[in-house]
Amino acid sequence: MSAATYLAYDYPLLSAFWTMLVFFLWIMWFVLLFRVVVDIFRDDDLSGWAKAGWLVFTILLPFLGVFVYVIARGKNMGRREIAQARAQQQAFDSYVRETAKGAGGPAGSVDQLARLSEIKARGDITDEEFRRAKELVLSGHNT
């Protein structure tokens, strides 16, 4: 028998399962470690010395440091992450609004045409006024 065949007999399925489990837990450990380090820097409530202390604690004694950090400050980790995600979403939304407003392109034209059709539906303008306003919007002379 070849060496590869012996390896198949010496390494049963349960050992492969345990190896995959240990590998998965190892990766999860690093994910947790990096999340804790990022949260240390993200937290505005901590002073610089407190951040340095937590960072040294998690680097010198990583298992104990992360364990203590998650117990002591883990409750607010999710809140800080959600607050950052909301702030990023609001910044993105305001950027999109400002960009769309500044472009004055098709989105602005569509909005103006929708407002014109609402005004016409209420009977505030005649068909002729609607037609002229629509031509102005479509030609790009929207003031």
d(CA 72, CA 91): 31
Segment 16-33 shows an average pLDDT of: 92
DSSP secondary structure letters along 61-127: SHHHHHHHHHHHHHHHHHHHHHHHHHHHHHHHHHHHHHHHHHH-SHHHHHHHHHHHHHHHHHTSS-H
Segment 112-137 shows an average pLDDT of: 86
d(CA 15, CA 21): 10
Asked whether residue 15 carries a pLDDT value surpassing 90, the answer given is no
Segment 71-85 shows an average pLDDT of: 89
128: number of Cβ within 10 Å: 8
Q: What is the pTM of this model?
A: 0.55
Is the torsion defined by CA of 121, 123, 127, 130 positive or negative? Answer: negative
